[in-house]
Amino acid sequence: MAPSDEAMTDTQRSVLEYVQKHLQESHRSPTVREVMRHFKWNSPQSARKHLLALEEKGYLERDEHIARGMRLAEPTVTGISIPILGKVAAGLPLLAEENREGTLVVDPSMARGGRNLFALTVRGDSMVNAHILPGDRVIVQQTTHAAPGEIVVALIEGEATVKTFRKTSSKITLEPANPKYDPIVITQDQDFRIIGKVVGVFSPR
Amino acid sequence: MAPSDEAMTDTQRSVLEYVQKHLQESHRSPTVREVMRHFKWNSPQSARKHLLALEEKGYLERDEHIARGMRLAEPTVTGISIPILGKVAAGLPLLAEENREGTLVVDPSMARGGRNLFALTVRGDSMVNAHILPGDRVIVQQTTHAAPGEIVVALIEGEATVKTFRKTSSKITLEPANPKYDPIVITQDQDFRIIGKVVGVFSPR
DNA sequence: TGATTTAGAATACGATTGTATACTAGTATA
DNA sequence: TATACTAGTATACAATCGTATTCTAAATCA
């Protein structure tokens, strides 16, 4: 349950702010008695009631009977960690642990709308004219459908490839952005699947 | 004091990994006894000795007498926040608060060697053949010197521009990567300054 | 061989800590 | 007026937890 469902009293707000500050500064939850002492109260229950109220209203999460067991309901986001996909193993879900090669941190602006993202390291120069170079990390939004002209990541016979998606009434082609290469025409009997479309490129130089 | 000064024993390494994992997953330090139970030991001292050893060797930090008082000596880096430079105001230090337009989070792999980084939003298409497009964020390492052929960010008469740096015995030129534009020849009386070189490009699509 | 280091056990002490119950007082509300 | 809610106090209990001391056993090393 997300915060801001229910209003806090002034004291509850102060307590929440103290807990937030404590977590931020010491990377550790305060104890009930630390809250009590900070507000110069004389009973652990004074603090405890506010903490329980904050938990009930969804602002705090707690683990019972555990010392320093408080957490903020909404963790502060500094960057979005998305998995880097390596070789895709057949039969496994795309984002299974086994397919992961590492983690890439991207700006939160990339993740608007809670998009289902992953990254892929580009091999080969087939997309240089779309400014996607070998070694670049393409940031991919997972989807099974794409509009013609969009740059997609497709799985052909178990191999992941980045190409421009083209579609006519009769056939689907995957078009490179490099005159050196020919378009790939998808035939009926091929194992073909769109796994996402490119929403960003990260290019270390 | 940085870790890796002193070698760990195998057990100490396992304990450190467990503490790291615990911190990462629950945002909370394990207790001495939780470490003990995880390794199926029968005495708190078994765990405590390893924890004290890890502290002495600089891998862990601890606060005495405090429940769940362990921290990693090197905080886990999830992303590097670098400032996005806007219009550069004359007279101010480059990275002054007034010049900042926002923050960009990049992968830690960009920040190897503790480089002094900032980001810049590209305006114009003068570098498209170097795969730097309008709207891209170039990630820049601050430096006053560059080798010919490197892509630099230069300040000409207070205006920041991204170009390829060229230098002969007689003159300095800034070369666009787009035939539509002519190279800029720097004259003696111009206020010219290199402020950094491009080490990465972040391109939202 | 004897000394040192490392790993772990056994046990205990006391402070810390989450929790429970019972109480007073003020304030808002139906 | 009676009721409910909020705020805080007082006190107690038991589990958790960091720490201290003493001990055994194996491995390393000079």
Would A60 be classed as within a structural domain?
Answer: yes
- In this structure, is the CB of residue B190 within 7 Å of any atom belonging to strand C? no
Q: How many domains does chain B have?
A: 2
Distance from CA of B169 to the nearest CA of A (A): 27
Q: Tell me the per-residue pLDDT of B63-112, one tens digit each, with 9 for 90 and over.
A: 888 999 888 765 444 666 777 877 655 555 666 666 677 778 777 777 66
Instruction: Kindly state whether residues A85 and A125 are assigned to the same domain.
Output: yes
Would B133 be classed as within a structural domain?
Answer: yes
- Where does the pLDDT of residue A115 fall: very low under 50, low under 70, confident under 90, or very high at 90 and above? low
Q: Is the Cβ–Cβ distance between A197 and A117 less than 8 Å?
A: no
Instruction: Kindly state whether residues B115 and B68 are assigned to the same domain.
Output: no
- Residues of chain B positioned with their CB less than 8 A from the CB of A29: 28
Interface test with B, best of A26, A27, A165 (most B CBs within 10 A): A27
Q: Are A202 and B28 in contact (CB < 8 Å)? A: no
For the record, the structure tokens of B182 come out as 């002519």
Instruction: Kindly state whether residues B44 and B124 are assigned to the same domain.
Output: no
Instruction: Kindly state whether residues B46 and B133 are assigned to the same domain.
Output: no
B195 contacts: CB under 8 Å, gap ≥ 6? B94, B140, B142, B143, B144, B153, B154, B155, B160
Tokens 């931020």 appear where?
A: A24
What confidence score (pLDDT) does residue A77 get?
46
Instruction: Kindly state whether residues A27 and A50 are assigned to the same domain.
Output: yes
- In this structure, is the CB of residue A44 within 7 Å of any atom belonging to strand C? yes
| Chain D positions with a protein C-beta closer than 7 Å | 6-12, 15-22
We report the CATH number of the domain holding residue A21 as 1.10.10.10
Distance A65 CA to D15 C1' (A): 8
Q: Is the Cβ–Cβ distance between B123 and B136 less than 8 Å?
A: no
Q: Tell me the per-residue pLDDT of B110-153, one tens digit each, with 9 for 90 and over.
A: 766 555 788 888 888 999 999 999 889 898 888 888 888 999 99
